Amino acid sequence: CHHSSHLLLHEEQAYKELIGMDAVILSTKKYIGNNGVSVPPMKYSDVRRAFITEKIGLRDNTSLYSTGLAALLIELPHRELGGKITPWHDVVEIGNLCHQEGVKYHCDGARIFEASAAYGCVSSDAGM
């Protein structure tokens, strides 16, 4: 999940306490100041880079799911970033990548409907 995810900032590690999950944090802090953007939302390139890092040392046809990476949480919109949204083509590509790797793709139910208005499409188009 993104370093500004509500899961990390407001859930007090409930994911760890309730179901024993650990978070893999995707930070976009390195982009601060690029193109006038303070902290950008998660993009496909961030997820792809994280997936490649997680796959180092695995056989070629091994899915990320087999490593224990079970789900990717996307914030739409990023409330902590002033309502910024991940570009739509990135949302779709992240979904495709998760599907290829056997990783579940999650967006909070209320948020996906809120974000779909900003995108001008229906939430089912994201493959979530």
Q: Where along the chain do its domains lie?
A: 6-126
Percent of the chain beyond pLDDT 70?
Answer: 83
- Taking the model in full, what pTM does it have? 0.77
The answer to whether 40 and 84 are in contact (CB under 8 A) is yes
Q: Could you tell me which CATH class the domain 6-126 is placed in?
A: alpha beta
| Neighbouring-strand partners of residue 71 | 104
In this predicted structure, the answer to whether residue 56 has a pLDDT above a threshold of 70 is yes
Per-residue pLDDT band at 98 (split at 50, 70, 90): very high
- d(C-alpha 89, C-alpha 79), whole Å: 20
